Amino acid sequence: MTTIRHLVPLFLVTWLLNCGIAAEQPNLLVIFTDDQADRAIGYNNPEVETPHLDALGRQGVIFDNAYVASPICAASRASMFSGVFPQQHRVIALDHKQFHAYRVGGDRSEQTLAHQLNRAGYYTGFYGKSHIGKPTNYGFAEGDDQGGYDDTGAFEKANEFLEAHANGEQPFFLWLAPRQPHVPLLPEQRWLDLYPEGKLALPENYRIQPQQISLNNQGKPGEHFQRDSGYRHNHRQLSAGPPRDKETTREFIRAYYAVISHLDHQVGQLVGKLRSLDALNNTVIVFLSDNGYHLGSHGLGSKITMHEESVRVPMFMTGPGVPNRFRSQALVSSLDVYPTLLALAGVEDAPRHLMGKSLIPILNDPTTSVRQTVFSECVGVGAATGEGHRMARDKRWKLILTGTNEQYLFDQSNDPTEVVNRIDDPDMKPIADRLRKELFAWMEQIGDREVLRR
């Protein structure tokens, strides 16, 4: 089969030659976790035991300001594979059936990431949690939606995939989507033992229960609903839904970190497999999560809001062509992964529908940026209405529009825990006006139903 493996961009050729690696298309591995908060990784929080992920991140570029297109599972995942925001691909909240246009035979099937990399000469595979249907239905050559909350099956399949394709004629693209650390949390005792009981730090903005304001609402617009989540261990069910006292919150965080340490161990074994197959030096690894998690911040569990804990995730890239030991402060969107992978694959003309930006300029110079503002939305919770939360965030300020059209302005430099709303501060009016203008322009661009009602 003829491929375009040698048709790579000049910048990648230069990098690969500098690394002593043949100028071929790199293999691509994306590890996409479920509900992993930005502070739930060791390089951001020394309480968390993730030695393998820490080592990988520090070998490449860590993106300290990475935000998801939507902080809810199915919507976020559909955005990763379509390259657009939820109200564009129509999988808002958890309504995965709306992804039908991107499935085989649909009028947007050629727009999926897997389809584009198939065309670029890659052999594509997916294992783990899909949440939007069978992966082969939206472009992957092989794959399945794996069950099991410890991800054993997904990692076994990923290892089999690498054994079969790591040294094949085609480069590979593997999307590995662990379910961890999504609830229910089922850590083995050896991972719990890494974390002393009752000792873990609570978030600075911890509350026993949330304020009854629209900013904290995780249900339909106008409600004051906070989602529950649970931890089940030794036949005991612990609800982490509000109100959550300090003991309950610490016990949940302990189990949550323990599950992530298990995941880290599995990632380490997978990297070892790549190394043993002599494929690690020609594989770009991208790591991120579908959304964050509150862990008691603002009195909340779960995600869905536009708080930093919900919408910001850990993210890094490592491998051929990626600089070593950099931490980029640039604003990054999860939508940027799609065009970046295409660029690394040597695709010169990315599809015009993509809403993300290639991160290649940051890989060339980790001190640079590709955008001034990043956006996110979480709409349609409880009903496919298009109503819900939106966000525009620049390097210092964040403007949030809630499901009942209330506005919040937070100073990320001086108030990173988002407890002081500055929207009514007269001195902040120019900042609020600018971000509001950007937010409404973006809402119009994506066909936001809230804008259409105005």
DSSP state letters, 386-401: S-EEEEEE-SSEEEEE
pLDDT in tens, 257-282: 999 999 999 999 999 999 999 999 99
For position 17, what pLDDT does the model report? Answer: 36
pTM of the model: 0.92
CA separation for the pair 306, 407 (Å, rounded):
12
pLDDT in tens, 88-125: 999 987 777 889 999 999 999 999 999 999 999 999 99
pLDDT band at 147; cut points 50, 70, 90:
confident
pLDDT band at 367; cut points 50, 70, 90:
very high
Residue recorded with tokens 């089940």: 232
CA separation for the pair 113, 47 (Å, rounded):
36
Cβ–Cβ under 8 Å, residues 76 and 68: yes
Q: Which residues pair with 397 in a beta bridge?
A: 411
Provide the 8-state DSSP code for 48. Answer: S
Nearest CA among 98, 34, 31 for reference residue 303 = 34
Q: How many percent of the chain have pLDDT more than 90?
A: 80
**What residue ranges define each of the domains in the chain, with the CATH number in brackets?**
10-185+252-372 (3.40.720.10), 375-452 (3.30.1120.10)
pLDDT in tens, 25-53: 999 999 999 999 999 999 999 999 999 99
Q: How many percent of the chain have pLDDT more than 70?
A: 90
CA separation for the pair 402, 176 (Å, rounded):
33
CA separation for the pair 303, 94 (Å, rounded):
13
CA separation for the pair 126, 406 (Å, rounded):
40
pLDDT in tens, 313-350: 999 999 999 999 999 999 999 999 999 999 999 998 88
pLDDT band at 5; cut points 50, 70, 90:
very low
Residues with Cβ within 8 Å of residue 102, at least 6 apart in sequence = 78, 81, 82, 89, 108, 109, 111, 112, 138
Residue 182 has pLDDT above 60, yes or no: yes
pLDDT band at 229; cut points 50, 70, 90:
low
Residue 19 has pLDDT above 50, yes or no: no
Please state whether beta strands 283-289 and 316-318 pair in parallel, antiparallel, or not at all (unpaired): antiparallel
Question: Phi, psi (5° rounding) for residue 75?
Answer: -65, -45
Output 269-277 pairs: Cβ under 8 A, ≥24 positions apart. Answer: 269/155, 269/159, 270/155, 270/158, 270/159, 270/162, 270/176, 271/52, 271/56, 273/159, 273/162, 273/163, 274/29, 274/162, 274/166, 277/162, 277/163, 277/166, 277/167
Residue 383 has pLDDT above 80, yes or no: no
CA separation for the pair 326, 356 (Å, rounded):
22
Please state whether beta strands 142-145 and 123-128 pair in parallel, antiparallel, or not at all (unpaired): parallel
Mean pLDDT of the region 180-208 = 95
For position 381, what pLDDT does the model report? Answer: 75
CA separation for the pair 102, 81 (Å, rounded):
9
What residue type is 29 in one-letter code? Answer: L
Mean pLDDT of the region 425-451 = 94
For position 233, what pLDDT does the model report? Answer: 52
Mean pLDDT of the region 136-160 = 94
Question: Phi, psi (5° rounding) for residue 304?
Answer: 80, -30
For position 224, what pLDDT does the model report? Answer: 82
CA separation for the pair 302, 295 (Å, rounded):
7
Residue 9 has pLDDT above 90, yes or no: no
pLDDT in tens, 277-296: 999 999 999 999 999 999 99
Cβ–Cβ under 8 Å, residues 377 and 304: no
Residue 201 has pLDDT above 80, yes or no: yes
CA separation for the pair 33, 31 (Å, rounded):
6
Q: Please indicate whether residue 12 or residue 391 has the higher confidence score (pLDDT).
A: 391
pLDDT band at 22; cut points 50, 70, 90:
very low
CA atoms within 13 A on the CB side of 41: 30
